[in-house]
Amino acid sequence: MSPSVSSATSEFSRTAPLEPWANFFDTHDRVHGHHPKKILQGPTTLKLPSPSIYLEGLISVKDFENQTGTVAPHFVHTEKENRKRKASQTTVDPLTSELSLSKRRSRPSAPVPLRSEFGDVPGFSKVAFVFASVSISQDGIVKINWPDLKEHDESTTSNCLLQDTPFDQGKTKQVHKAIYDGLPWVAKRFCNIGAGEGQVDIQENLDQVVKEVTRLCKLGYFVTRFIGEAQKQDVEIEQRIRVTDFKLGVEIVDNAVGPSTASGFSLEQYQAAQPNSDSDQLTSDRGLVTWLFEPRRYSKVQHWSGTNEYPPYHRHKLGSTLNAFTHYAYLLSLESMIFCDLQTATIVDENGDGIHVLFDVMTHTLDGSSGVGDHGKTGIQTFLKKHECANRCENLHLSRDGFAEHSGGEDEDN
């Protein structure tokens, strides 16, 4: 879901077919627009209708495939290369191959192959999920409605391809490739919340995933309010900021087999985590194997703040905007929360404009209960000492009561 923005842009809204050649070039040009290209009149021997242009372009097929997660059309390779690729099957990973097949299946003009909806893909497993409903009120209160695993049916169940082993890992989470609804996603779960890697049980993972979902919802809430306030006061900021789309997924576990291989949990761990029917403390989310799903992004990640570092970025519009946003959100939260570890990846919207997507955010709160990385009051005090206001904070008339004094500087970006 996209819980946050006034003009929501789906991260999958710019998916383009690879054929014909023009669409292939357009897709590549959005990813690697810096590749050399020339507009010419064309060779004198080539007769073109008028008016027309002749376009020469250099396309890095390997970069294109790595960046977009799709397979280049066969006609861009020589016959020798095509034979080699077909024989080795090492150019793209199994997920990319399955995604390509899924896209071809969705085209009404293409013949439907006689195969199951999800074929066997080495290193991936078919996993059934149901998704929780997540919403945030006008007052910033996050609400999660959990699905009833006993009452689910085909209309509410989604079959996904989930990578058995992670392709990426941070300090706290492991990231697995996934295909959901024919599109590339990542599925995240927690592997370290302070006790050491691999020491996270089912309930702890659920709690931390819920806290991350809550942070994303609140981030979207504050970003929307921040942009609205800047527009109201006619203050120039970087407005092309969004919060990642996401889904809160719950595995449908076969009681005789156990959770997915990717989850890292055994059947015994799953059974031990289930609620006791005689307990007075039953909760609807007890013992669920949960995942955070996000669209898979291919662009470079840019970091704007750390857990306890808050550069002012006087000469960078996006960095300076996020610096002012952190200050604004602190005040709007009644001085109870700091957004930290802000990072963005850039996507392209329907109009071809770059959108900066925020994800993997952390927070410091008064009681230190918002999830991993929350340093509580100490984290908030660190922000008050290190935050340096510049023009955008001043133009938004953000209060500095309680902040340390800094000499600062003036924003010089456009």
pTM over 0.95: no
Tell me if 187 sits within 8 A of 262, measured CB to CB: yes
Euclidean distance between CA atoms 245 and 263, whole angstroms: 22
> 193-221 pLDDT, tens per residue?
987 777 899 999 999 999 999 999 999 99
Cβ–Cβ < 8 Å for 51, 88: no
Q: Give the span between the Cα atoms of 69 and 55, in whole angstroms.
A: 26
Cβ atoms within 10 Å, residue 275: 13
Beta bridge partners of 163: 124
Q: What is residue 151's predicted lDDT score, i.e. its pLDDT?
A: 75
* Higher per-residue pLDDT: 103 or 411: 411
CA distances from 400 to 41, 316, 321, 323 (A): 60, 22, 17, 14
The yes-or-no verdict on residue 184 having pLDDT over 60 is yes
Q: Enumerate domains of the chain plus CATH numbers.
A: 21-92 (no CATH), 299-414 (3.20.200.10)
Burial 142-180, CB ≥16 within 10 A → b, else e:
beeebbeeeeeeeeeebbbbbbeebeeeeebbbbbbbbb
Per-residue pLDDT, 299: 84
Residue 39 vs residue 137, higher pLDDT = 137
Residue 186 Cα distances to 9, 33, 405, angstroms: 18, 26, 42
Distance CA 106, CA 179 (A): 14
Phi and psi torsions of 154, nearest 5°: -60, -30
What local confidence, expressed as pLDDT, does residue 108 receive?
47
* DSSP 8-state symbol, 277: T
Instruction: Render pLDDT for 299-351 as a digit per residue (tens, 0 to 9).
Output: 889 999 999 999 999 999 999 999 999 999 999 999 999 999 999 999 988 78
Rounded CA-CA distance 277/326 in Å is 44
Predicted pLDDT at 411: 58
Residue pointed to by tokens 């309680």? 402
Question: Average pLDDT, whole number, for the chain?
Answer: 81
Query: Which residues are paired to 123 by β-bridges?
Result: none
Strands of 70-157 (E only): list them. 124-131, 133-136, 142-145
- CA angle (384 as vertex; 334, 312 as ends), nearest 5: 110
Residues whose CB falls within 8 Å of the CB of residue 33, separated by 6 or more in sequence, listed in order:
none
Q: Cα 179 to the chain's mean position, in Å?
A: 14
Average of per-residue pLDDT across 372-387: 97
Q: Please, which pLDDT band fits residue 396 given cuts at 50, 70 and 90?
A: very high
Return the minimum-mean-pLDDT range out of 16-25, 224-233, 299-308.
Answer: 16-25
Calculate the alpha carbon distances from 164 to 50, 124, 173, 175, 221 in Å. 55, 5, 15, 10, 34
Tokens of 293: 């799903």
What are the tokens at 111?
Answer: 């013949």
- Whether residue 373 has pLDDT greater than 50: yes
Of 91-100, 122-131, 213-222, the poorest mean pLDDT is in 91-100
Give the C-alpha separation, 356 to 168, whole Å: 21
**138 phi-psi bin (left φ>0, alpha ψ -120 to 50, beta other):** alpha
- Distances in Å between the Cα of 155 and the Cα atoms of 127, 140, 152, 249 are 16, 31, 8, 15
Alpha-carbon span 10 to 7, nearest angstrom: 10
